[in-house]
Structures are given as C-alpha cells and as structure tokens.
Structure 1
Amino acid sequence: DADAKTRANAAGALGNLARNGSRLCMEIVGVGALAALLDVACLPLATHAAAHSTDDLSPARTALFSLGNLASHTQCLDALHSLDLAGALASLVGVGDATICKYAERLMQKLSTAPAAQEGGSTPRPVRRSGRAICS
C-alpha cells in the first residue's frame, strides 16, 4: 500500500529530525506533528490491523519509534504529556504485535522517568497509566 509506505516514511523523517538535537522540536510541536504521529500509531486500532499483513503495521511502528525519539527532548516531552498517551498506547495491546508493544513500552518509560523541566529537573513527571505494563 503506497499510502502506508508514505505514512511510515513521514513518521520516520520526523523522528530522524529529533535524533541529532532539539533544534526543531518547537516547530514539530507547533505544527501538531506529535498528535499526528499518535494518530498514525493508532491506525491499527481503526483498521483492525491484526488481520492485516505486517507491512500494514509499519507506519504505526515507525510513528511509535519516532515519538520515542522525540520524547528525548524537553519541548517535545512537555507536549507529549498533554496528549492522552497512556490510554492510546494501552489500547494498542489488542493489535498483538510485539514490535508495537516494545515501542509503546519504550515511549511510556521515557514519559514516566523524564525529569521535570522546572527546578533543575530532578523530579519525575507523572504519567497517567493503569499501573500495569502495556504488553504483559
């Protein structure tokens, strides 16, 4: 599917922008790219991708990996905390894909252990989650 490949490539490009520094994070946040990546990550839920091929899951996998890259930067992390990530990521378990679970856990780990931006950054940020591992 050409659209799936385009979505995967776009998601990967956004994640690559964050790999070498935070210079573009404010622009990425400002145009709503984080919410768009979350939408792509959740596409398997809308399309019942568990019944589809692994190629159909490529955009979701790439979007989750890119969100994890972006979560390494404070500006993006602050914006990610404003999204309902815990609910969205927990619902991805139903897709039954080990890679999606791994990347969702990676993202949740970054969100739950990230230091707060204020007062030197030593306090962990709270993350709304159910208290259980996403892919257990």
Structure 2
Amino acid sequence: MAEDLKISDRIVIPAAELRERFSRSSGPGGQGVNTADSRVELSYDVERSHALPDPLRARALERLAGRLTDGVLTIAASEHRAQLANREAARARLAALLRDAIAPPPPPRRPTKISKGAHQRRLDSKKHRGALKQLRRGSHD
C-alpha cells in the first residue's frame, strides 16, 4: 500500500517520505491479539520534506511545534483490529492534520462598536431587573 498521500489538490506527499512501523496493539483482537502487528505508527518528516513549499512548511512547523519530535510528525492508530484499517486511519488523520496546519490564517477580526440602541436596551434590562429585586426586599421594621 505504498501510495502517495493526497493532502490537497496541489499538495501530494510521495510515499517515499512516509515511514510506517507496525507493532502489537492492545485491546480487542481475540486469539490474534498476540500474533498480529495491527498497530500502525505513520511518520512524516515535515522539516526535511520536499513535498511542501517553503512558506507552507514554515507554517506547518509553527502550528505543529508541540507535536513534532526533531521535525518529525508521528501518528499512531490502533483502534481497529485489522492492520489495513489502521493504516488507512493513520493516513487519513495525518492528511487532516497537515491540511489544518497549512491552511491560511483567518482574516483579522474587524473591531465593531455596539449600537446605541443595543446599549440602551441592555441598560433598560438591567434597571428592570434591579427594580424587580428591589420589590422582593420588603420592609424591615
């Protein structure tokens, strides 16, 4: 299953830049749990990759800084009993993570001012609430 990983229409990570490791998974598996290496660790070297253009690589390195170990992003998948299903899950998770990391930043927020009518409605509501509470107090003779 050594095929390229499609991140977006323009960005494809070649299979040569992905590394897979397999190990025994904990959890469900019945008799095959001790014999099948169904857990998958998918690693991608973001720092040294040639698939990402320089500005996107810098953005990904900045956004994924907490998840990288020496510039390498590692995804582990062990939720399925079958190795093939775990490989597909790891690849899908890696693609989604990279897609989010290289996405352009949102446009800056344009500060707005509250309207005079909304401000007055808020003050009227507060006065009304205060008046209700004042009526509940009663006299303390």
Structure 2 length as normaliser, TM-score? 0.24
Q: Which has the higher helix share?
A: 1
The structure richer in strand per residue is 2
TM-score normalized by the length of structure 1: 0.25
- Structure number with greater Rg is 2
Does 1 or 2 have the higher relative contact order (CA < 8 Å, sep 6+)?
1
